[in-house]
């Protein structure tokens, strides 16, 4: 399940003094082992990253950005969107949107980089070798902090599923698996060819993430 995923192997999202630096690999796999900037098997792809404070656009870039920000504690919204051309070999994850909300202020040691509290999302969904899940497959969603992130309880608030590329949505019933993890059964209709998902999660300090993955996986016929 390919989507944006920051892991420990790349530059971490940080604030140093009055500067925020963020780099986001658009095409990580369903866990956290691989962080890819190139769309697998696609000849065409796009990505865009935007940072806003109180609704006002501060900076924009492709896979990342740098922005000067005020010293006072403020609410920020970081949005990353990506698209890729579907291919016969890999028709999945044709579009994603990930939106992080967090607060930030001048670090206590200004010249030392302070990690931004961007909650990540991992997914487990059994599929066949062609990337297709059974109609009654169980999806496991795991929210997590980056290494060195805040000691704050994590929670998956809502999982939405779509079988028409996001035209209509159904709120999934969730079963807790502890530590903020949840599981849900797809219950895909007979006509479904793909599952699209939208996940809302966050932590007890108010940091949140909403991630949408169009055609996250296929549905076996």
Sign for the CA dihedral angle at 126, 200, 149, 205 comes to: negative
Beta strands 64-68 and 194-203, pairing class: unpaired
> At 159, is the pLDDT very low, low, confident or very high (cuts 50, 70, 90)?
very high
Judge whether 26 lies within some domain.
Answer: yes
How would residue 38 be classed by pLDDT, with cut points 50, 70 and 90?
A: confident
Domain assignment present for residue 2? The answer is no
pLDDT at 29 over 90: no
From CA 191, how far away is CA 62, in angstroms rounded? 36
Helix, strand, coil: what percent of the chain each, to 5?
0, 50, 50
Residue 155 lies in a domain: yes
* Nearest of 67, 179, 174, 187 to residue 134 by alpha carbon: 187
The per-residue pLDDT for range 55-98, each reduced to its tens digit, is: 999 999 999 999 999 999 999 999 999 999 998 888 999 999 99
Q: What is the pLDDT of residues 104-121, one digit of tens each?
A: 999 999 999 999 999 999
Count of alpha carbons within 13 angstroms of residue 70, beta-carbon side: 9
Q: What is the CA radius of gyration of the chain?
A: 17
Under the banding of pLDDT at 50, 70 and 90, the label for residue 208 is very high
Q: How many residues does the chain have?
A: 221
CA dist 22 and 52 (Å) reads: 13
- DSSP class per residue in 87-123: -SS-----EEEEEEEEEE---SSTTS-EE----EEEE
Residue 18's domain spans which residues?
14-219
Q: Place 33 in a pLDDT band, splitting at 50, 70 and 90.
A: confident
Total number of domains in the chain: 1
Given pLDDT bands bounded at 50, 70 and 90, which one contains residue 37?
confident
pLDDT in tens, 169-183: 999 999 999 999 999
Domain-located, residue 179: yes
């Amino acid at each position: 399940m390919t989507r944006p995923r920051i892991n420990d192997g790349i530059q971490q999202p940080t604030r140093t003094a009055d500067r925020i630096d963020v780099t986001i690999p658009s095409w990580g796999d369903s866990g956290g082992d691989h962080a890819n900037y190139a769309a697998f098997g696609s000849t065409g792809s796009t990505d865009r990253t935007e940072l806003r404070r109180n609704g006002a656009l501060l900076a924009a870039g492709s896979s990342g950005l740098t922005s000067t920000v005020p010293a006072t504690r403020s609410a920020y919204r970081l949005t990353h969107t990506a698209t890729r051309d579907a291919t016969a070999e890999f028709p999945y994850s044709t579009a994603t949107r990930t939106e992080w909300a967090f607060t930030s202020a001048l670090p206590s040691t200004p010249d030392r980089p302070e990690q931004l509290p961007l909650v990540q999302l991992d997914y487990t969904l059994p599929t066949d070798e062609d990337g297709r899940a059974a109609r009654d497959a169980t999806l496991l969603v795991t929210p997590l902090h980056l290494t060195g992130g805040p000691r704050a309880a994590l929670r998956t608030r809502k999982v939405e599923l779509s079988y028409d590329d996001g035209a209509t949505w159904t709120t999934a019933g969730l079963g807790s698996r502890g530590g903020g993890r949840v599981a849900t059964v797809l219950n895909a209709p007979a006509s479904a060819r793909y599952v699209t998902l939208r996940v809302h999660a966050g932590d007890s300090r108010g940091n949140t993430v909403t991630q949408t993955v169009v055609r996250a996986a296929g549905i076996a016929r």
